[in-house]
Structure 1
Amino acid sequence: MRAKDVTGIVGEEIAAEYLSRQGHQVLERRWRGARGELDLITRDGAQLVAVEVKTRRGTGYGHPFEAITGPKLARLHRLLLEYCAAEHRMHDQRRVDVVAVVLSGSSAAHSAEHLIRGLEHLKDVG
């Protein structure tokens, strides 16, 4: 597996744990629809939430939130609608959140807590 794929999986695990501690119920991880993938789908109270997780090992290539462009955000909303249609949840309230995870550059850390250099959560994006 490529290093960037491992980084992404680690970031998704960290984000799922963080969201669970914030009261979200994680329903799906890496849900794949006909038009793409959603990193996480959670329930936050009455709302279904598609969560895009952007993970970086440092900010040399910019902050993770910078990767969320207008077209990417529109695609996330379409994928959430696709999920709702597939699961017969079209009447559920829904939103898209983005979680940015910045990891330390060290691969010698033994636990996820030691890897995290920063975590930010934007709710109801776009």
Structure 2
Amino acid sequence: MRAKDHTGLIGEEKAADFLQEAGHRILDRRWRCKTGELDLVTLHDGELVAVEVKTRRGLGYGHPLEAVTAQKLQRLQRLITEYASAHNMWALPRRVDAVSVLLGSPQHSGDEEVLELDYLKDLRG
């Protein structure tokens, strides 16, 4: 597995832990359909939530949330609608959230240090 992919999986795990502590129920991780993928799908306060997770080990490419563009938000909104359709959850209101995870240097112990975790709720493009 490429280091970038491994970093992304660690970030998704840290984001899922954070969201569960904040009251989200994780429904799916890395849900895929023919038009794309959702990092996390949760249920929170009666809403179906697509959560985009962006993870970095530094700010050399900018803050992780800078990668969540208006175009990406539109795609995520389409994907959460597809998820609702595929899982017969049409009646639930839907939203898109984002979590950015900034990790320290890779740890050989397996316990990754989270330097910063930011959470944005109900993003609109």
Give TM-score scaled by structure 2 length: 0.95
Compute the displacement of 1:75 (Å).
Answer: 0.3
Partners of 1:2 and 1:67 in 2: CA distance: 20
Q: Look up the equivalent residue of 1:103 and give its one-letter code.
A: L
Partners of 1:31 and 1:80 in 2: CA distance: 10
Identify which range, 85-94 or 9-18, moves more after superposition: 85-94
Identity of aligned residues (%): 52
Pairing 1:70-89 to 2, within 5 Å after superposition: 70-89=70-89
RMSD of aligned residue pairs (Cα, Å): 1.0
Q: Look up the equivalent residue of 2:115 and give its one-letter code.
A: R
- Structure 2 residue 89 is matched with structure 1 residue 123: no
Pairing 1:1-126 to 2, within 5 Å after superposition: 1-112=1-112, 115-126=113-124
Structure 2 unmatched ranges of 5 or more: none
Partners of 1:106 and 1:9 in 2: CA distance: 13
Partners of 1:116 and 1:48 in 2: CA distance: 27
Compute the displacement of 1:91 (Å).
Answer: 1.4
Determine helix, strand or coil for the equivalent of 2:80.
Answer: helix
Partners of 1:6 and 1:104 in 2: CA distance: 14
Give TM-score scaled by structure 1 length: 0.95
Compute the displacement of 1:108 (Å).
Answer: 3.4
Q: Look up the equivalent residue of 1:111 and give its one-letter code.
A: D
Q: Look up the equivalent residue of 1:22 and give its one-letter code.
A: A
Compute the displacement of 1:109 (Å).
Answer: 5.0
Partners of 1:14 and 1:118 in 2: CA distance: 11
